[in-house]
Structure 1
Amino acid sequence: MADTKREIERKYESDDSGLPDLTGVAGVAAVVDKGVAHLDATYYDTPDERLAAASITLRRRTGGSDAGWHLKFPVAPGVRDEIQAPLADSLPRTFAGLVRSRVRDAELVPVVRLRSDRDVRELMDADGRLLAEVGVDAVQAERLGEDGGTVQWTEIEVELADGIDPAFLNKVEKRLKKAGVRPSSSASKLQRALEETAPKKKRGKKAPAAEEPVTAGDHVLVYVRAQRDAIVELDPAVRRDVYDSVHKMRVATRRMRSAFMTYGKVLDRAVTDPIGEELKWLAGELGVDRDQEVLTERLTAALGELPRTLMSGPVRTRLRTWSKARSGGSRRRLLSVLDGQRYLQLLETLDALVADPPLLEAAGGKPEKVIGKAVRKDFSKVSVLVEQGLDMEPGHDRDLSLHEARKKAKRARYAAESAVPVLGDPAGGLVKSMKSLQNLLGDHQDSVMTREALQDLARQAQGAGEPSFTYGLLYGREERRAVEDEAELPGLWKEIKSGTSI
């Protein structure tokens, strides 16, 4: 079983003079000598160092109090999520899954061995609480493989204890700087080892900086590439069931698919349409249970607002049974999808797309003209559907029209998001307008779906000989809510049209 902890630390350059006196750091009552730990870590990566390029570290370490397998994902500068698993000869299966979106079908091989003698001090407050652990590390690094080189250095590492305000590290840093110690130029030991043990012909070389987008195609590709990156980066969080990660990954797939449709004059849809279908498949797998969860949450909230006197029969039990029966997905199914060849092939296809995009003639045009025209076209589609819906009588056809308007509003919102770097405030204003419209029409569609669910629940209750009064009452409330949404729509739409300047 793997354990996860949030690691907040800072690293500093050090000479051989050891650790400065830290008893003067505000809040520190005692500095406790914990002795020297001998650490031996082997770091794994693909031969082309894909994990290191993403600031991900995977190692097997012996020695110290946390010997085992460690996998670290960047969160922010100086902050990483560290996942630990017990010491074993082979890579834990869980870890293999967590790096699969980067590694794909490549082999993980030992790339660097780091041996460190860590002189440990614990900084304690007046109540004996641990504030931070400070280590002076004498490091010997060896690059493994035919081009192996070696290097050694000494550094100071300060790691914040659990539950301590990160501002405490500023106090420690102030004291270290006063003693002549400066922050490390490398974010991690692995990064420094890879840089300083690289073959001479590769040493000092850095990945080329991204060029500023110039053409319409450049700007579209920046947006598409950002969605590709989001899908890859969110994969480990989805596997770990991190809050909201599934939703964010699903949104990234939708944004990319929407961009393919919006910018069909920039990227050849003969190439992107099949990819869009695969993105649609992935979004569907990510959302297997989501629509059902939304309905259940809405119905549960509605029941919570009802007086007990209006609760007729075992309504809550019936809702739980109904919801469980309609839930078609599971964590196991989603993990199976992410480990499947179809998903991995999609990731490879997305990489190929951004590396060699199928650009059309309009891609070389002026961004303001090409992108502005595409956004206006998407907005006009929203306009047609909204006004068509407003002209209809309330009922099924109007519900369908407003639902289609909602989907087009979402696409127009994504288009406006992609256009902000080019069109500025007008695009930003359209993003806000489409979000407001999307929320209103989304609530209306949720009401439609909830009423269908209530009809289903009522039929099941009647079949079981249970009262159906409460479901009818909730149906009426949802019907009134939809009417209110429809009544609000003309004013919102008028405000949007008058305020849109794309």
Structure 2
Amino acid sequence: MADTKREIERKFEFTTSKAARRGVPDLTGTAAIAVVADQGTVDLDAVYYDTPDQRLAADGLTLRRRTGGADAGWHLKLPVSPGVRDEIAAPLGDTVPRALAALVRSRVRDAALEPQVRLLSSRRISHLLDADGVLLAELSTDAVRAERDEASASWTEVEVELADGIDPALLDAVEKKFRKAGLQVSDAPSKLARALTETGGEPPHRPDPAPADDTAGAHVLAYLREQRDSLIAHDPAVRRNLPDSVHQMRVACRRMRSAFKSHRKVLDRAATDPLGEELRWLGAELGLDRDQEVLFERIQTRIAELPRTLVIGPVRGRLRVWNNARRSSTRRRALAALDGKRYAALLDALDALLADPPLRPAAAAPAARVLPKAVLKDYDRLATRVADALDQDPGEPRDLALHGARKAAKRARYAAEAATPKLGKPAKQLTKAAKSVQSLLGDHQDSVVARQALHGLGVQAAGAGESAFTWGVLYAHEEALAERNERELPDVWRQAADPTFRADLGA
């Protein structure tokens, strides 16, 4: 079983040989540090694994097998933000643990994970304590030797890692003290990155996310790369069941699908349509779990809002049992999709499309001429969908039409978001307008789905001899909310349907 720890640290290096000879300054009296307690020296032997083309290192991930010290075992480090990483540990063994291999699968896929670099470190450890003896941070001074193929290199590195719950401002105070003593924050994000540099390797770098030029094709491809990278980056978080991770991964799927549809004059749909269908499949597999989570939270909130006199019978217990049964199967299905060949093939196909894009003639045109037309086309599509929905009689036909309008609002929003870096304020305003329509229609669709679930829960309760009264009250409440949304839609749409968009976008 893998264990996870949030690691907040800062790495330092000596700026001169004179500073290195003086060593690490005494930190007693720095911020809340009252005692620097020597913990002795340990010898560490770490072998770092990666694909031959270093896909993990390119994204700032490190996977190692380390012996020595108190935490011998396998460690996978996933970047969270500068200076912050999640370290996921697994027991020592001869092969990469399955739990860690799954977390890097979106990057590794069918490539082999092989030893790349060996780091031998002599680590002197000190605990930084406050006046009450509470651990604030761990100070490590590492004499490191890196070995890669026939090359080797040595250096000294100083690291300060915060204890759980300690204010990161402590690191700022330590850095200020270190600077005066001739230490600076290391340029290398990790020991592995420095080892690759010091041994004459070519540290991998992610390509510049900015468009290569000012053509429509460059802007669209830059946006698609961003979403592809987001999809891959959120994969480990989904597997770890982190909050909002499924939602963010689905959003990346939707944005790519929308971009394929919005920019059919830029990218050949013969290539993008099949990919769009695969992204739809992936979003649907992930969505089962996410949608159940949202539905459960909605009904749970509605129950909490009811007066106690209207909650009759084991309502909360039935809801929990119903949710647990559905969530267990939906999560298994989502993870099965991520572990399957179809998903890996989709990621490979996205990489292939971005490496050799099927560009159409409009791709070579200036982005300022092509993007506004695509954005306004999606906006006009939204206007048609809204008008059609408002013409429908209340009931299931209108519900379906409003759901279609919601999808059109998402597509218009994503198109405007993607164009904002180039088109600026008008695209940003259109994004806001589409989002307001999407939010209203999203709440309406959630009410439709909630009513279906509440009806089923009421039937289950009645079948078990329980009162179905509360489920009926909740159903009526959701029905009233949907009707209110439908009444508000014309006003929300009038505010969103700003005729200046077209002129401001120059189309």
**TM bin (shorter chain):** over 0.9
Return the offset for 1:348: 0.6
Contact 2:246 2:290 in 1 (8 A): no
Return the offset for 1:207: 6.8
Return the offset for 1:413: 0.7
Query: For residue 173 of structure 1, what is the aligned residue in structure 2?
Result: 175
Query: For residue 195 of structure 2, what is the aligned residue in structure 1?
Result: 193
More displaced stretch, 42-51 vs 26-35: 26-35
Q: What secondary structure, in the 3-state scheme, does the structure 1 residue paired with 2:497 have?
A: helix
Change (3 A) 1:111 1:346: same
Per-residue CA deviation, residues 187-219 of structure 1 (Å, 9 max, x unaligned), is 2211111112126xx5x8967656543100111
Give, in whole Å, the separation in 2 of the partners of 1:162 and 1:454.
43
1:101 to 99, 102, 106: 106
Return the offset for 1:174: 0.9
Q: Match for 1:491: what amino acid? A: D
Return the offset for 1:291: 2.6
Return the offset for 1:50: 1.1
Contact 1:143 1:198 in 2 (8 A): no
Per-residue CA deviation, residues 470-497 of structure 1 (Å, 9 max, x unaligned), is 3333332222212211111111111111
Contact 2:266 2:360 in 1 (8 A): yes
Query: For residue 349 of structure 2, what is the aligned residue in structure 1?
Result: 349
Q: What secondary structure, in the 3-state scheme, does the structure 2 residue paired with 1:182 have?
A: strand
Contact 2:289 2:331 in 1 (8 A): no
Contact 1:288 1:328 in 2 (8 A): no
Give, in whole Å, the separation in 1 of the partners of 2:316 and 2:74.
45
Change (3 A) 1:308 1:82: same
Query: For residue 149 of structure 1, what is the aligned residue in structure 2?
Result: 151
More displaced stretch, 223-232 vs 132-141: 132-141
Per-residue CA deviation, residues 107-160 of structure 1 (Å, 9 max, x unaligned), is 11111111111122221111111112112211111103xxx2011111211111
Give, in whole Å, the separation in 1 of the partners of 2:282 and 2:134.
47
Query: For residue 308 of structure 1, what is the aligned residue in structure 2?
Result: 308
Instruction: Please give the root-mean-square deviation of Cα atoms over the aligned residues, in Å.
Output: 2.0
Change (3 A) 1:460 1:115: closer
Return the offset for 1:30: 1.3
Return the offset for 1:295: 2.8
Query: For residue 277 of structure 2, what is the aligned residue in structure 1?
Result: 277
Query: For residue 417 of structure 1, what is the aligned residue in structure 2?
Result: 417
Give, in whole Å, the separation in 1 of the partners of 2:380 and 2:307.
45
Give, in whole Å, the separation in 1 of the partners of 2:248 and 2:142.
39
Give, in whole Å, the separation in 1 of the partners of 2:324 and 2:8.
40
Give, in whole Å, the separation in 2 of the partners of 1:455 and 1:207.
50
More displaced stretch, 184-193 vs 217-226: 184-193
More displaced stretch, 248-257 vs 129-138: 129-138
Return the offset for 1:60: 0.9
Query: For residue 73 of structure 2, what is the aligned residue in structure 1?
Result: 68
Give, in whole Å, the separation in 2 of the partners of 1:251 and 1:55.
23
Per-residue CA deviation, residues 432-463 of structure 1 (Å, 9 max, x unaligned), is 11111111111112222222333333444444
Query: For residue 249 of structure 1, what is the aligned residue in structure 2?
Result: 249
Contact 2:54 2:204 in 1 (8 A): no
Query: Is 1:129 matched up with 2:131?
Result: no
Q: Match for 1:140: what amino acid? A: R
More displaced stretch, 264-273 vs 302-311: 302-311
Give, in whole Å, the separation in 2 of the partners of 1:69 and 1:275.
36
Give, in whole Å, the separation in 1 of the partners of 2:53 and 2:294.
43
Change (3 A) 1:321 1:41: closer
Change (3 A) 1:451 1:334: closer
Return the offset for 1:399: 1.7
Per-residue CA deviation, residues 306-335 of structure 1 (Å, 9 max, x unaligned), is 223333444444444554565573433322
Query: For residue 232 of structure 2, what is the aligned residue in structure 1?
Result: 232
Percentage identity across paired residues of the two chains:
60
Q: Match for 1:189: what amino acid? A: K
Return the offset for 1:24: 3.8
Query: For residue 161 of structure 2, what is the aligned residue in structure 1?
Result: 159
Give, in whole Å, the separation in 2 of the partners of 1:161 and 1:137.
19
Change (3 A) 1:218 1:65: same
Query: For residue 479 of structure 1, what is the aligned residue in structure 2?
Result: 479
Q: Match for 1:187: what amino acid? A: P
Q: What secondary structure, in the 3-state scheme, does the structure 1 residue paired with 2:303 have?
A: helix
Give, in whole Å, the separation in 2 of the partners of 1:46 and 1:282.
25
1:31 to 32, 36, 58: 36
More displaced stretch, 324-333 vs 82-91: 324-333
Q: What secondary structure, in the 3-state scheme, does the structure 1 residue paired with 2:437 have?
A: helix
Q: Match for 1:134: what amino acid? A: L
Return the offset for 1:246: 1.0
TM-score scaled by structure 2?
0.93
Change (3 A) 1:320 1:106: same
Query: Which structure 2 segments of 5+ residues have no match?
Result: 15-19, 503-507
Change (3 A) 1:111 1:468: closer
Per-residue CA deviation, residues 331-388 of structure 1 (Å, 9 max, x unaligned), is 3332222121111111111110110111111111121221110110111111011122
Query: For residue 117 of structure 1, what is the aligned residue in structure 2?
Result: 122
Query: Is 1:78 matched up with 2:80?
Result: no
Q: Match for 1:18: what amino acid? A: G
Contact 2:58 2:204 in 1 (8 A): no
More displaced stretch, 315-324 vs 34-43: 315-324
Give, in whole Å, the separation in 2 of the partners of 1:208 and 1:460.
55
Per-residue CA deviation, residues 45-68 of structure 1 (Å, 9 max, x unaligned), is 111111111111111111112111
Give, in whole Å, the separation in 2 of the partners of 1:309 and 1:115.
68
Contact 1:136 1:154 in 2 (8 A): yes
Contact 2:436 2:496 in 1 (8 A): no
Give, in whole Å, the separation in 2 of the partners of 1:107 and 1:483.
56
1:54 to 49, 56, 59: 59
Return the offset for 1:391: 2.8
Per-residue CA deviation, residues 365-424 of structure 1 (Å, 9 max, x unaligned), is 121221110110111111011122223332222222111111100111111110101111
Per-residue CA deviation, residues 266-304 of structure 1 (Å, 9 max, x unaligned), is 111111111111111111110123333333332222222
Q: Match for 1:389: what amino acid? A: A
Give, in whole Å, the separation in 1 of the partners of 2:461 and 2:155.
73
More displaced stretch, 444-453 vs 100-109: 444-453
Q: Match for 1:272: what amino acid? A: T
Q: Match for 2:252: what amino acid? A: A
Contact 1:386 1:402 in 2 (8 A): yes
Per-residue CA deviation, residues 69-91 of structure 1 (Å, 9 max, x unaligned), is 11101111111111111222221
Query: Which structure 1 segments of 5+ residues have no match?
Result: none
